[in-house]
Amino acid sequence: MIFTADFHIHSHYSRATSKFMDANNLYKWGQLKGIRIIGTGDFTHPKWFSELREKLEPAESGLFRLKKAYAKEIEHEIPESCRSDFRFMLTVEISNIYSKNGRVRKVHNVICAPSFEIASKINSELSKIGNLQADGRPILGLDSKRLFQITLDASTDCMFIPAHIWTPYFAVFGSKSGFDSLEECFEDLTPFITALETGLSSDPPMNRTLSALDDFTLVSNSDAHSPQKLGREVNRFDTELSYFSIRDAVKNGDPKHFLETVEFFPEEGKYHYDGHSTCEVRFSPEETKKHNGLCPKCGHPLTIGVLNRVASLADRSEPGKKSIPYRYLIPLPEILSDIYSKGVSSKYVNGLYFSMLEKLGNEFSILLDIPLETIEKASSSYVARAIQKVREGKVRIAPGYDGEFGTIEVFTEKEKSDLQTQKTLFSFF
Amino acid sequence: MYKDLNEAQKMAVEHRGNLLIIAGPGTGKTHTLTHKIAHTLLRNKNFHCSDSDSNILRPSSGTSEKYHFENETQSKSVFLKIPSAISHSDISNTRIFEPSILALTFTKKASDEMKQRLISLLADCQHTNKRYSDCRNTDERYAHAQHADVQIIDVQNTDVQHAYDRHTDVYNLSIDHQIFIGTFHSWCLEMLKKFSRDFVLYGEKEKMIVLQKIASSTFPNWTKTHINDVARLISLHKNQLLPIEKIAEKIPLPDFLKTTEYITIAHLYEKKMSAFRALDFDDLLVKTLELFTHPSPEIDAYRKNMRYVFIDEYQDVNTVQYELIRLLMHSNVAKTTVTDEVAISNKSFSTDTFQSTSKTICAIGDPDQSIYAFRGSNIDYFFRFSEDFPHATTLRLEENYRSSSFIIKASESLIAYNSKRIHRSLRPQFEDSTLVSVISANDGWKEAYGVTKKIQKLVGGLDMIESGHAHYHVPSETFRFSDIAVLYRTKAQGRLIEASIKKAGIPCQMVPESAWYLKKEIQTLLHYLRLLVYPHDDSSLSKILQTASARQKKNTSLFLTQIQALMDEMIHFTPTECAQKIWNDFGFESYYCRKKNGGNVHAKIRAKTLNNEKIVSDEKIQNNFLLFLSTSAQFDSMKGKEGLLKLLEHYTFLQNEDTFDSSVEAVHLMTLHASKGLEFPVVFITGLEDGLLPYSTKSENSARFSKKDDFIKNQLEEERRLFYVGITRAKRKLYLLHALVRDEKETTPSPFLKEIREELLERKTLRKPLKNIVSSQNFHTSKWNDHDQSCSDQKTKKDQLELFS
């Protein structure tokens, strides 16, 4: 069975998250987006844990479904065309802040567990170490390796995935407080890492320039803090619908079962380029080198982005061969927002978005699978053209830097004015 | 061996004869003392051999004969000669070798550290210094030391040892059985076990139980606080060797207590204790002192054998400890009555000490760091050292290797205001121009919030956005959580800070901390669950009945039927379902939450200060329960008794574990008193307000003492020393905070703040009330003004909370 999965998200118990990140809304938005399996996030948070236990029931082995009573509450908000048999998987992200080899390290790690019992074992260990109640993504003064050990002790069936490995501040390879190798961080446990998460600002080809990562599967998750951002990046599988099949597919990295990862354009990520957001300085790695890593406006050191960091650790210029296929996309609301020059969360874009979902089905099928003619019929040639361009990767992106998202441009100004002269443009409404 | 020592330290180590070392903060006190002990230990071998004319019987590992002491169980203690080829098992059976070197500390931590350092120093010695022939024995020594540890564990079964281990720092080390390193209390325990009749040791808990029993019959309306006060007074008069009748002349009694009442209860307490043949902790010292004042031949032999005495933190000795040291050093004055304080102040022993040539005392300490007067410590003994011990030399260690120069200068300018001190100055070894920050906040909560924000900055931010800003503000250095300590005068202040820091998700460790699963509501819940599994467990039932609500107590039979019903159907429930059922059915929520809300002053204050009803303890209790569920769900694959058994086993195991995992990094929260002897790169001292630091209570302000001015002056100097201790904990950065309003009362900044030279300080103000403190969105947008210019993100500007002006 072919399906998509997003393992890394946060509930409303995490800091700076939408209040709509609850079980019901995950159920709704997962289906709108076309994700089949979604990580619950935050299972270490006692309240979220209890909410999950209350609302979910076991489905296929290691996976959970929303109980009927709760599904009914939200079902009417999901267009017929999008409805699917939706599943949850128990996951959490831990923020490890600790010192090793004389430096402060900040590493985020994602853990997936196949059952409440095993999640509870992990909670029990971590509750002795730190405060699990303050934040859905708990900050622990705990060595990443110890966390991994605790996870393995709870169950070897758990998946352990270092999160967004290239982010400057909170990642295993982060330029600010990470490591230069996985071994330095995880030592003898390194081979047991299930997979590495590329994060928004890097894509598989970038990662594959490091031969040190050849033995690891790369996964892509959204790290969403609000329902609309679910599935910004996802993984597509063709396996039996169960936790263990998914884990095996990830662990083995066999393209037969792990079909592809769907990626953000890495340039769109917040830390792709180097730069300094306050001074609005955006540099490619070469430009940074020219300026000795300092901001030409204020003289402070620039935040070194992912592209630069990858290059500095890479040991080959071309990506290695072995890899799961991947493709890029831009979330539909962002495409609509760009082509109509309206805000992503504006009523206008929202209206368009839902009407397309109603007519065509979930967002992923629109972006990836549905023939352009069908899309054109259901919306407009303008939209279809834009989706075509995204599918072909023919979009222009001003790269993100120092915490600023990259900005996308599906059509150039000229293309836009050309298209606007065509009457068909707004026939859609 | 000497390569790590500076000139002054080296001089101290090599000095022969009585020595007082004045060692300021960060001057390598333990380092020097350990070296001196090692030096003495190694030299002692030669000493023994040359000392052959002495007829004192003592163990001397280098000679062909060894002596040991007969087991206490045999009729009379005599010295026996035994062959030199003594095996370890022989030693462990007897373990009665008398030490010739005694090193006493005040805490287990200090003696542990001393032992560790000594062992590694002696091991180093083996490689680097061939001068001492016995260095080759280091491994053997180490084995002995280990062996000694095993002995301790062996005797833990006895009641005495058990009680002792539970309550304090049992530790001693014997290297070649020449040396005893331990706390005063552990040494006294050893002495009493050796030379005294059988006794039972009562810890603080047992002491309280005895007092409670007495009070319940004589003063039925006393609360626990009253009894605590009495317990403290009893300890105080024992430590000052005061007869019970004279207490009121020396120690201010709390308002509720009349002198006659105290005398009654103290006598009753003593009577009860002797009826039980029980000693409390203070008795350990007092009874050991009695051994010395009424010496037997064994005690005389013990004392004669003692050649070197080392005392750490000499400024903290109290009267009974001082007397112990004095009697150990001067055997000829043993018959002096020491219970009278006059004897102490009048006698000086500089002339008539025939033993003084063969006994040496080395005391180390810093009178500026004497902060335990409330426990009976008396700084005067430090000043009297050279009168007490003949030909004593005083050395000063003044090179400070800990703190940056501005922190040292600040501490020096402060402590100069004290009149009762021995002059010395500190020379910082690290030049740094970081100023000491003085921050004033609107109220206690804002102060706590300011600390929280600053910690987030110091560790380089906790989320992406924060990190982005922090990167430009503190580009050069980030600190670990464990590099940071927040100090305060009273525990109540600590709770507010803890709440704020925890709310921000920062890992922190409050000393002492009680783990969530030791909280009352969880413990009671576990009692219920235990009762389900073991229906005949009376202790659980009685615990449950204690906490049962009035309604349930009225109708016990219904209550028991309810439990019985649950027992019958529990086979169908998983452990967490059982717990949930009990929580709901037996009114946990209403019982604990209402009680807490009504009774707990702190909860009330916090609720007021936080302006947020939700953060009060109600929610904490609810949260603890949810945490209980989320950590217990692991046993849900088993239903009924089986699952519950597993769960109970898990928690029993958990409670016996040492919860503090030292490898986990966290911000340290502790009182100023608890910070003594520690050091941290970053230190916050909070609550620098008149009344908090210097601390004063109503009873101390009232004019009930004849020497009122003197008392207050001493008190003030003690508080200043406490602040001095706090300041000198800091290595790199020091933040001093005070709130303008605390507990709804306006405050004035601590007078001590004015005593620090202004040019060392950098003053800031924390302003604007924070309406929605817990809102996470605001966390990263607020910031410290000193970095204001560089960061003016348009988006965040609007809702930005300016904390500092």
Domain shared by B139 and B154, yes or no: yes
CB atoms within 10 A of CB B440: 21
Most confident of A405-409, B472-476, B657-661, B792-796: A405-409
Hey, are the CB atoms on B663 and A119 less than 8 Å from each other?
no
Question: How many CB contacts within 8 angstroms connect chain A with chain B?
Answer: 155
Q: What is the DSSP string of B182-243?
A: EEHHHHHHHHHHHHS---EE--HHHHHHHHHHHHHHH-TT--HHHHHHHHHHHHHHHHTT--
Hey, are the CB atoms on A170 and B635 less than 8 Å from each other?
no
With b for 16 or more beta-carbon neighbours within 10 A and e for fewer, the B178-206 pattern comes to: bbbbbbbbbbbbbbbbbbeeebebbbeeb
Tens of pLDDT, residue by residue over B522-572, are 888 888 888 888 887 777 787 777 776 666 667 777 778 888 888 888 888
Hey, are the CB atoms on B632 and A146 less than 8 Å from each other?
no
Closest-CA residue of A relative to B624 is A46
Domain shared by A253 and A106, yes or no: yes
Domain carrying residue A399: 330-426
Residue at B171 is within a domain: yes
**Residue A101 has what pLDDT?**
92
Which of A9-13, A93-97, B708-712, B763-767 comes out lowest in average pLDDT?
A: B708-712
Residues in chain B closer than 8 A to A127 (CB atoms): 516, 627, 630-631
Number of residues that this document lists for chain B: 805
Instruction: State percent of chain A over pLDDT 90.
Output: 78
Residues in chain A closer than 8 A to B633 (CB atoms): 49, 53, 116-117, 119-120, 123
Q: What is the mean pLDDT of residues A151-164?
A: 96
Which residue among B598, B628, B656 closes a domain?
A: B656
Tens of pLDDT, residue by residue over B331-346, are 554 444 444 443 444 4
Domain shared by A100 and A243, yes or no: yes
Closest-CA residue of B relative to A117 is B634
Does B9 have pLDDT greater than 70? yes
What's the rounded Cα separation, in Å, for the pair B668 and B655? 22
- Pick from B465, B630, B665: which is nearest to A50 by CB? B630
Shortest distance between the Cα of B403 and any Cα of chain A, in A, equals 20
Residue at B755 is within a domain: yes
Domain shared by A138 and A210, yes or no: yes
With b for 16 or more beta-carbon neighbours within 10 A and e for fewer, the A218-231 pattern comes to: bbbbbbbbbbbbbb
Residue at B359 is within a domain: yes
Most confident of A5-14, B155-164, B173-182, B324-333: A5-14
Cis status, amide bond into A205, omega within 30 of 0? no
Tens of pLDDT, residue by residue over A193-245, are 999 999 998 999 999 999 999 999 999 999 999 999 999 999 999 999 999 99
Shortest distance between the Cα of A298 and any Cα of chain B, in A, equals 9
Shortest distance between the Cα of B627 and any Cα of chain A, in A, equals 5
Residue at B245 is within a domain: yes
- Give start and end residues of each alpha helix (H) in A130-181: 144-154
**Residue B169 has what pLDDT?**
34
Domain shared by B501 and B471, yes or no: yes
Tens of pLDDT, residue by residue over B591-625, are 665 544 444 444 544 444 444 433 445 677 888 88
Which of A67-71, B59-63, B225-229, B238-242 comes out lowest in average pLDDT?
A: B59-63
Shortest distance between the Cα of A116 and any Cα of chain B, in A, equals 7
- Give start and end residues of each alpha helix (H) in B7-95: 7-14, 29-50, 88-94
**Residue B302 has what pLDDT?**
87
Hey, are the CB atoms on A44 and B502 less than 8 Å from each other?
no
Hey, are the CB atoms on B631 and A98 less than 8 Å from each other?
no
**Residue B598 has what pLDDT?**
44
- Pick from B465, B623, B664: which is nearest to A141 by CB? B664
> What's the structural domain count of chain A?
2
Shortest distance between the Cα of A55 and any Cα of chain B, in A, equals 15
CATH number for the domain that contains residue A184: 3.20.20.140
Domain shared by A243 and A108, yes or no: yes
Domain shared by B170 and B78, yes or no: yes
Domain shared by A335 and A219, yes or no: no
Question: Does residue A295 sit in helix, strand or coil?
Answer: coil
Give, in order, the Cα–Cα distances in Å from B700 to each of B230, B262, B716: 17, 19, 11
Q: What is the mean pLDDT of residues A183-201?
A: 95
Tens of pLDDT, residue by residue over A270-290, are 899 999 888 899 999 999 999
Domain shared by B269 and B295, yes or no: no
Closest-CA residue of B relative to A404 is B465
A7 — pLDDT class (breaks 50, 70, 90): very high
Closest-CA residue of B relative to A106 is B462
**Token pair of B503, please?**
């709310």
> Would you say B436 and B761 are in contact if contact means Cβ atoms under 8 Å apart?
yes
Residue at B778 is within a domain: yes
Domain shared by B506 and B525, yes or no: no
Hey, are the CB atoms on A49 and B502 less than 8 Å from each other?
no
Residue recorded with tokens 């694959």:
B637
Does B112 have pLDDT greater than 50? yes
Question: Does residue B21 sit in helix, strand or coil?
Answer: strand
Cis status, amide bond into B243, omega within 30 of 0? no
- Pick from A46, A135, A169: which is nearest to B630 by CB? A46
- Pick from B475, B479, B634: which is nearest to A301 by CB? B475
B784 — pLDDT class (breaks 50, 70, 90): very low
Domain shared by A151 and A15, yes or no: yes
Residue at B551 is within a domain: yes
Tens of pLDDT, residue by residue over B641-652, are 888 888 888 887
CATH number for the domain that contains residue B301: 3.40.50.300
Which residue among B612, B628, B656 closes a domain?
A: B656
Domain shared by A261 and A335, yes or no: no
Residue at A301 is within a domain: no
Does A121 have pLDDT greater than 60? yes
Hey, are the CB atoms on A104 and B506 less than 8 Å from each other?
no
Domain shared by B166 and B31, yes or no: yes
Does B91 have pLDDT greater than 90? no
Shortest distance between the Cα of A421 and any Cα of chain B, in A, equals 36
Domain carrying residue B495: 436-511+667-797
Does B19 have pLDDT greater than 50? yes
- Pick from B480, B777, B791: which is nearest to A104 by CB? B480
Residue at A303 is within a domain: no
What's the rounded Cα separation, in Å, for the pair B591 and B580? 15
Hey, are the CB atoms on B632 and A120 less than 8 Å from each other?
yes
Domain shared by B507 and B520, yes or no: no
Domain shared by A245 and A392, yes or no: no
Domain shared by A166 and A256, yes or no: yes
Closest-CA residue of A relative to B461 is A169
- B535 vs A328, higher pLDDT: A328
- Pick from A129, A277, A403: which is nearest to B664 by CB? A129
> What's the structural domain count of chain B?
4
Which contiguous run of DSSP H or E holds residue A52? helix A46-55
Residues in chain B closer than 8 A to A167 (CB atoms): 464
Does B125 have pLDDT greater than 70? no
Residues in chain B closer than 8 A to A274 (CB atoms): none
Most confident of A43-47, A317-321, B185-189: A43-47
Tens of pLDDT, residue by residue over B707-757, are 457 778 888 999 999 999 999 999 999 999 999 998 888 899 999 999 999
Residues in chain B closer than 8 A to A134 (CB atoms): 502-505
Q: HSE-up of B274 (CA within 13 Å, CB side)?
A: 6
Kindly report the backbone phi and psi dihedral angles of residue A345, in degrees, each rounded to the nearest multiple of 5, phi listed first: -100, 20
**Residue B134 has what pLDDT?**
38
Residue at A318 is within a domain: no
Hey, are the CB atoms on B463 and A176 less than 8 Å from each other?
no
Residue at B335 is within a domain: yes
Which residue among A241, A267, A293 closes a domain?
A: A267
Shortest distance between the Cα of B779 and any Cα of chain A, in A, equals 9
- Pick from A119, A135, A402: which is nearest to B505 by CB? A135
Domain shared by A255 and A401, yes or no: no
A3 DSSP β-pair partners: A237
Residues in chain A closer than 8 A to B665 (CB atoms): 97-99, 141-142
- Give start and end residues of each alpha helix (H) in A172-314: 182-186, 204-207, 243-252, 285-290, 306-313
Q: Give me chain B's average pLDDT, please.
A: 74
Hey, are the CB atoms on B665 and A129 less than 8 Å from each other?
no
Residue at A288 is within a domain: no
Hey, are the CB atoms on A130 and B635 less than 8 Å from each other?
no
> Would you say B224 and B217 are in contact if contact means Cβ atoms under 8 Å apart?
no
B768 — pLDDT class (breaks 50, 70, 90): low
Instruction: State percent of chain B over pLDDT 90.
Output: 25
Residue at A284 is within a domain: no
Hey, are the CB atoms on B462 and A95 less than 8 Å from each other?
yes
Hey, are the CB atoms on A104 and B467 less than 8 Å from each other?
no
Domain shared by B158 and B45, yes or no: yes
Residues in chain A closer than 8 A to B663 (CB atoms): 143, 146
Residue at A287 is within a domain: no
With b for 16 or more beta-carbon neighbours within 10 A and e for fewer, the B768-804 pattern comes to: eebeebeebebbbbbbbeeeeeebeeeebeeebbebb
Does B468 have pLDDT greater than 70? no
Does B278 have pLDDT greater than 90? no
Domain shared by B257 and B316, yes or no: no
**Residue B301 has what pLDDT?**
85
Q: Which of A53, A65, A85, A386 is nearest to B633 (CA)?
A: A53
What's the rounded Cα separation, in Å, for the pair B720 and B416? 10
> Would you say B540 and B527 are in contact if contact means Cβ atoms under 8 Å apart?
yes
**Residue B550 has what pLDDT?**
64
Which residue among A220, A239, A267 closes a domain?
A: A267
**Token pair of B612, please?**
């947020």
Q: What is the mean pLDDT of residues A343-354?
A: 92
Which residue among A237, A267, A297 closes a domain?
A: A267
**Residue B403 has what pLDDT?**
93
Domain shared by A224 and A346, yes or no: no
Shortest distance between the Cα of A59 and any Cα of chain B, in A, equals 16
Which of B65-74, B128-137, B484-493 comes out lowest in average pLDDT?
A: B65-74
Hey, are the CB atoms on B626 and A95 less than 8 Å from each other?
no
Domain shared by A14 and A146, yes or no: yes
Residues in chain B closer than 8 A to A123 (CB atoms): 627, 630-631, 633
List CB contacts of B180: < 8 A, sequence separation 6 or more: B99, B101, B102, B103, B172, B173, B174, B187, B190
Which residue among B397, B414, B449 closes a domain?
A: B397
**Residue B592 has what pLDDT?**
63
Domain shared by B672 and B627, yes or no: no
Q: What is the mean pLDDT of residues B282-302?
A: 89
Domain shared by B173 and B78, yes or no: yes
Q: What is the mean pLDDT of residues B503-511?
A: 86
Closest-CA residue of B relative to A300 is B472
Residue at B738 is within a domain: yes
Domain shared by B678 and B791, yes or no: yes
Residue at A420 is within a domain: yes
